[in-house]
Chains A and B, each alone.
Chain A
Amino acid sequence: MAYNCVVLIKQVPDTKRITGEAMNADGTVNRAALPAIFNPEDLNALELAIQIKEKFGGTVTAITMGLPAAAKILRESLYRGADDAILLTDKRAAASDTLATSYILSCAIKKLKYDILLCGRQAIDGDTAQVGPQTAEKLGIPQITYVEQLIELNNQTIIVRRNTGAGWQEVKAQLPVLLTVMDDANEPRVGNAKRLMKYKDVLAPAEITPDSGIDIKELEKKGLLIKQWSLDDIGADLNWCGRDGSPTKVHRIQSVVLTAKESKTVEPNQAGITNMIHELIIDKTIS
């Protein structure tokens, strides 16, 4: 039987490449100075969904919530093998914490047909790993976190291996279910050249400026328009969205500047090193 997979993806600043230039004077991160990338483990989630489609048939839909620029990772999903892409974008969703984000995503997902929801274990900007489980709770479906391997998919039953931190478990569940996928699960494919040619002109309405000369209707006719939903389109209650819908708020942000209180330079020769070891023995650091 065929399965409908919906993959929750996120565009994130590439936090592994933060340099001094990306930090503002007040210690906050200048997001604009960082390249925006496809959250790495979301690529593993997408890969797993595409593999399921290839083996069993069905569809893969990628969905993201973010700024219009996030349409970029939706295009990348199409290049890799997604059938459909949805951009959730709305100014009123800004400053949503994980609870508000999961509420908004769940409203959108309720409009879709799905058997398996997949997302990366966590996003590298916040590292919270919360949106997956919270979305599952809002939809009233079970979650299986830290998935390393799909073992079996048969009718309405799924068996996966999950990492427990102290080993692994094989877990069986009835669909629908939400999986959070680890980077060990697979090697995400790169975009396929044919698909790239097919989808390279795909745009979301929010990316199209009136003076661009692009005809939205024409694009839609060619199947090159990304579905775009606002909070109204998904029937979200605004009380649960954005800043007002978010119980957690930022109290303070500080930049990380770590320095040792006292430090000594040790000459890289035997005398210098023996002296250092001697000091550490005297102060009982080394016994």
Chain B
Amino acid sequence: MIKVNRQGEVWVFAEQHDGKLEDISIEILGRAGELASKLGVKVAAAVLGENVAESAEKLIHFGADNIYLAEHPLLGYYQTCSYAKILCEMINKYQPQIVLYGASPVGRDLAPRVASAAKAGLTADCTDLQIGDHEDKKSGQIHKNLLLQIRPAFGGNIIATIINYDRWPQMATVREGVMPMPLPNVGRKGKIIRHPVHLTHSDLPLEILREHKREKKVNLKTSRIIVAGGAGLGSRENFRLVWDLANCLGAAPGATRAAVDLGFIDRDHQIGQTGTTVRPSLYVAVGISGAIQHQAGMNASQKIIAVNSDPTAPIFNIAHYKIVGDLNVVVPMMIKAIKERA
């Protein structure tokens, strides 16, 4: 761990694959910049990889003041131990007060390894980050300007705010899709600080024999409108209604975990705590009861239409338009109304 260092920067671990920067890192960089300006310090990104100068440039455009760059052929593909080693070296050398990671498969693999080696705190899967004060009830001591790490817990039934006031850096992984992307400014200037890389093969204990990349069938995150179906659709055949409504709205089809588990649609379409988090302009919930785990992934939608035959379904608590009725009747009526307008 490092000591409390109020001059320390706010860092983002910039995740990239084959030189292509992940959206999640840019999303976090936006919020990191806000946190840094509240603290009056610089915002920086740590970039590890091979031939990643382009990513470094892009991060500067998206708001990074400093880039800590580790380039080496042995960092060409992600491995827990090699990445953790280099990142720990950087943290010890530059003493950032905050380090943020995407709660992606890589971020969730890397961050705990770094936290353990650094003996620092780590909060998983945050949905919000703020700066605030904490009063220690026991000692009465007030710790000012800490990172408030806000996350759902207990399956989304409670929201916990976690802090770390003594074993820094303050570290968190951040859920994908919950923070808006900042806008790039190609005129921005930043500083690139190169970090020397010394790795041996013992730092790379895994051998990647084969890799298969699968294109996601749907991009829910960028869709303006989402039509999502739940267990109420009853069957894979009847789920067709969701596809039909989505098609005539130019929307992406989504689903609850229950609908996915029942085999109505592929897992790529799953929205909620264990799926994708979305914030579209319009979210149409068809036959979805609205379990808290599902709401966690879609309650930031600007407008929500809910269609359900059960008037007590929790989805109606967050819906802007409530339609209590048989979805087999209501959805065709919606399709008709949209087609008539077009």
Q: Does B3 contact A (CB under 8 A)?
A: no
- Considering the chains assembled together, what is the distance between the CA atoms of A278 and B213 in angstroms? 42
Q: Is the CB of B163 within 8 A of A145?
A: no
Q: State in angstroms the CA–CA spacing of A248 and B111 once bound together.
A: 14
A262 to B160, CA, bound (A): 27
How far does the alpha carbon of A166 sit from the alpha carbon of B102 in the complex, in Å? 15
Chain A residues closer than 8 Å to B304, beta-carbon distance: 260
* A256–B119 touching, CB < 8 Å: no
B322 contacts which of A137, A163, A169, A264 (Cβ < 8 Å)? A264
Interface presence of A277 (CB below 8 A): yes
Cβ-neighbour of B206 out of A99, A144, A146, A165 (below 8 A) = A144
Stretch of B43-51, B68-76, B146-154 with 4 or more beta carbons under 8 angstroms from chain A: B146-154
| B317 engages A251 (CB within 8 Å) | no
Q: Which residues of A contact B330 (CB under 8 A)?
A: 268, 273
Which of the segments B32-40, B120-128, B229-237 contacts the partner chain?
Answer: B120-128
Interface residues on chain B, size class: 35 or more
Q: Are A99 and B161 in contact (CB under 8 A)?
A: no
Contacts A258-B295, A259-B317, A280-B303 given; does A143 touch B124 at CB 8 Å: no
Which of A129, A159, A171 is B124 in contact with, Cβ under 8 Å? A129
B211 with A250: CB separation less than 8 A: no
Q: Contact string, A128-161, partner B, CB cutoff 8 A, digits 1/0? A: 1111111011100011111000000000000100
Q: Verify if B186 is at the interface (C-beta below 8 Å from A).
A: no
B156: interface (CB < 8 Å): yes
Determine if A268 and B329 form an interchain contact, defined as CB atoms under 8 angstroms apart: yes
CB contact between A249 and one of B111, B165, B293 (< 8 Å): that residue: B165
How many A-B pairs have beta carbons closer than 8 Å: the answer is 241
Q: Using Cβ atoms and an 8 Å threshold, which residues of chain B touch A94?
A: none
> Could you tell me if A167 and B213 are in contact, using CB atoms closer than 8 angstroms?
yes
Task: Report the count of interface residues on A (CB-CB < 8 A).
Answer: 77
A258 to B305, CA, bound (A): 15
Q: In the complex, what's the smallest C-beta–C-beta distance from A40 to chain B, in angstroms?
A: 12
Q: Are A29 and B318 in contact (CB under 8 A)?
A: no
Indicate if A212 sits at the interface (CB-CB under 8 A): no
Distance of A254 Cα from B156 Cα, bound (Å): 11
**Is B192 an interface residue when CB atoms closer than 8 A count as contact?**
no
Most buried by A among B108, B132, B146, B249: B108
Q: What residues of B have a CB within 8 angstroms of the CB of A167 in the complex? A: 211-214
Task: Report the minimal beta-carbon distance from A178 to chain B, rounded to whole angstroms.
Answer: 10
The answer to whether B112 and A172 touch across the interface, beta carbons within 8 angstroms, is no
| Cross-interface CB contact of B155 among A18, A134, A248, cutoff 8 Å | A18
Q: Which residues of chain A come closer than 8 Å to B166, judged between CB atoms? A: 247
Assess whether B266 is interfacial by the CB under 8 Å rule.
no
* Contact of B205 with A by CB under 8 A: yes
Interface membership of chain A positions 255-287, coded 1 if the CB is closer than 8 angstroms to chain B and 0 otherwise: 110111011111111101110111011000110
Q: Is A170 interfacial (CB-CB < 8 Å)?
A: yes
A97-B121, A265-B324 as given contacts; A136 in contact with B154, CB under 8 Å: no
* Majority-rule SS of A interface residues: mixed
Q: Complex: how many Å from CA A173 to CA B117?
A: 21
CA distance A129 to B125 in the complex (A): 10
Instruction: Check A173 against B206 for contact (C-beta < 8 Å).
Output: yes
Check B341–A281 contact: CB distance below 8 A: yes
Q: Knowing A128-B124, A266-B322 touch, does A143 contact B113 (C-beta < 8 A)? A: yes
Instruction: Find out whether the CB atom of B113 lies under 8 angstroms from the CB atom of A133.
Output: yes
CA distance A126 to B165 in the complex (A): 21
User: Which B residue's beta carbon lies closest to that of A164?
Assistant: B105
Does B325 lie within 8 Å of A27, measured CB to CB? Answer: no
Query: A28 an interface residue at 8 Å Cβ cutoff?
Result: yes
Q: How far, in Å, is A133 (CB) from chain B's closest CB? A: 4
**Closest approach, in angstroms, between the C-beta of A33 and any C-beta of chain B?**
12
Contact partner, B205, options A27, A132, A174, A260, Cβ 8 Å? A174
Contact of A165 (CB < 8 Å), options: B105, B160, B302, B323: B105
In the complex with contacts A171-B206, A255-B157, A273-B337, A285-B281 CB distance below 8 A: yes
- Which residues of chain A have C-beta atoms less than 8 A from B208's C-beta? 169-172
Q: A251 contacts B122, CB within 8 Å?
A: no
Contact of B211 with A168 in the complex, beta carbons under 8 Å: yes
Return the contact of A269 from the options B111, B295, B303, B333 (Cβ within 8 A): B333
Chain A's closest residue to B324 (CB) is A268
| B321: Cβ under 8 A from any A Cβ | yes
Partner of A130, one of B112, B148, B320, B321: B112
Extra contacts besides A171-B208, A260-B319, A273-B323 (10): CB < 8 Å: A15-B157, A23-B157, A134-B116, A169-B208, A247-B167, A248-B121, A251-B161, A258-B299, A263-B316, A268-B325
Q: Identify 22 residue pairs between A and B in the complex whose beta-carbon atoms are under 8 Å apart, listed by A's number.
A: A28-B158, A29-B157, A127-B125, A133-B109, A134-B116, A137-B84, A137-B117, A142-B80, A170-B208, A172-B207, A249-B163, A249-B165, A253-B159, A254-B159, A260-B318, A266-B305, A274-B337, A276-B323, A277-B337, A278-B337, A281-B341, A286-B249
By Cβ-Cβ distance, the 10 closest A-B pairs, closest first, are: A268-B325, A247-B121, A15-B155, A247-B167, A137-B116, A165-B105, A128-B124, A134-B116, A133-B112, A130-B112
